[in-house]
Structure 1
Amino acid sequence: MNPRNRNIIIAVVVVVIIAVAAFIGLSHKSNTANASKNGTKTVKVGIMSGDKQDQAVWKSVAKTAKDKYNLNLKFVYFTDYNQPNEALLSGDIDVNAFQSYNYVDNWNKAHHTDIVSVGNTYITPMHIYSQKIKDISDVKDRDSVAIPNDAANESRALFVLQSAGLIKLNTTDATKLVGLPDITSNPKNLQIKEVDASQTPRALSSVTISVVNYNYATAASLPKSESIYMEPLDKTSAQYINFIATTKKEKNNKVYKEVAKAYASEETKKAIKTQYPDGGELPAWNLKL
């Protein structure tokens, strides 16, 4: 081979190797929390767009993260419960914070995924609301009831109805997933309607009572003081604690753990109390049940 041609080939190979190495390095960087020139790391956090109070709490967390851990939290907002986990798995966000343990257990089983917790955030008891009656004892024969239609929240809502004495299920173990076929006694012949969790407040105009997740109650300006029944907190309530989630391979990521530490702070506790003065949302990182 002509020496000149050989040198050209060697030069081309070297350029290709350098380009491939640079691409791999860039790809690796894009899959981790990005670091700026001053060492501040940016973490993309997925949260729900409808809950302004929760966003205010996260604003406090962002300040703590910046001041104590030199982290910049960039928020990505979602409108329904499916989007944040899909974004987490695709790598569009680093962590999300919207779901409880029972929700993610069902999500992982249904989607064959491995989303895990890096730290607890809060717990919000479910409430029963009504525009037609003032007390849970006023529920009458054949009254209509709205409950969330996703598996985790529907199961939780049915246990709330059981604790309120309105129905009986084939189990008292709230860690088990139940649905409408598991109702063994419905003495008032309640007409139970399954709707999207976000629509349970809106359903109040057409049903007697509605079992509502607290985040959707606050988004719809339904104060805790107007609920006619609140879900009791006990040992089985641990599954309803919300948490900061990531994928299993990132479970021990130091930066993501620092986000959890920033949340589990006195500053956050004060922010929760300010945003939820009625006690509808409770700090859960040290909760004793």
Structure 2
Amino acid sequence: MMTKKSRNIIIGVIAAIIIIAVGWFSFGKKSGDQKSNHVVTVGIVSETKPKQVIWNKAAKLAKEKYGVTIKIKNFTDYNQPNKAVKSGDIDLNSFQHYAFLKAWNKANHGGVVAIGRTEINPIRLYSKKYHKLSDIPKGATIAVPNDASNESRALFVLKNAGLIKLRKGKILVSAADVIKTSKNIKVKEVSADQCGRVINSVDAAVVNNDFAGPAGLGKKQTIFVEPVNKDSLQWVNIICAKKGQEKNKDYQAVVKAYQTAETKRLDKKFYGDMTKPAWDVKF
């Protein structure tokens, strides 16, 4: 017959086993959850070979230095990556500049924030008639895109080139905000995809990078390059997260893994002077 003492010992042993089991499953599960939180999914748009190489390098560093695994999710639609971040389907995205994010947040009631800068893709002032900026004559006609966002950017390019002055205090400007021109410059507004095509009928044109190549415009026709300064800050590309996650350590590790000398080297290798790293530029 089991003594009272023996019964107490058995009960104590069983209780101990239960406590250990509960602790194991609780802490074991917690540990597993923490580990899964070190996987960060980054959304990009239209993945190219250069992008793939750059993000692979960043992923390697993130894993080795910060213990964070980066997974890339490719999108073909510019409207999807922000929706995916806001809904929590992905953790971060890297495809847009500040101006695009601001417009998207305004149209979609916010929810996405920038947590780190990447690069800027400077646009250019081209001419087939003149070889340098100082050759632009008085009364010259310069074509710029006529949509609000691209026109504003183009006019700031002309401002930085010293060809016009703009009304102060505005981030988004139009031809109506040109208050002075150094050479009585005439601004001609045309659709963005036509700026390169009208180059022969104007003295110069500010042409978006996507349309410059097809129009046969390159270094030879470039007379001014958009500088990286406070006027071009809104065109700097960024890494974004869901609002409230700005200080997430794993997300910041991804930013640090991207913002490296190796990324600069690869940008130079693949894009030449068409892309400029912008994370360590003072605006």
Per the normalisation by structure 1, the TM-score is: 0.67
Q: State how 1:5-84 maps to structure 2 within 5 Å.
A: 41-49=38-46, 53-68=50-65, 69-78=67-76, 80=78, 82-84=79-81
Choose from 197, 204, 221 the match for 2:196: 204
1:232 aligns with 2:227: yes
1:189 aligns with 2:186: yes
Distance change (3 Å), C-alpha of 1:261 and 1:194: same
Aligned equivalents of 1:276 and 1:266: distance in 2? 15
AA matched with 1:255: D
Aligned equivalents of 2:129 and 2:250: distance in 1? 49
Aligned equivalents of 1:205 and 1:75: distance in 2? 35
Aligned equivalents of 1:263 and 1:71: distance in 2? 13
AA matched with 1:145: A
Q: State how 1:143-182 maps to structure 2 within 5 Å.
A: 143=141, 145-147=143-145, 149-151=147-149, 153-171=150-168, 173=169, 176-182=171-177
Identity %: 38
Distance change (3 Å), C-alpha of 1:259 and 1:50: closer
Instruction: Report the Cα offset of residue 205 of structure 1.
Output: 2.0
Q: Number of aligned pairs?
A: 245
Per the normalisation by structure 2, the TM-score is: 0.68
Aligned equivalents of 2:54 and 2:217: distance in 1? 19
Aligned equivalents of 1:226 and 1:147: distance in 2? 18
Aligned equivalents of 2:224 and 2:49: distance in 1? 24
Task: Provide the residue aligned with 1:266 in structure 2.
Answer: 261
Who wins on radius of gyration, i.e. which is larger?
A: 2
Aligned equivalents of 2:214 and 2:111: distance in 1? 30
* Secondary structure, counterpart of 1:118 in structure 2: strand
- Unaligned runs of 5+ residues in structure 1 are 1-34
Query: 1:164, 1:229 within 8 Å by CA — same for their partners in 2?
Result: yes
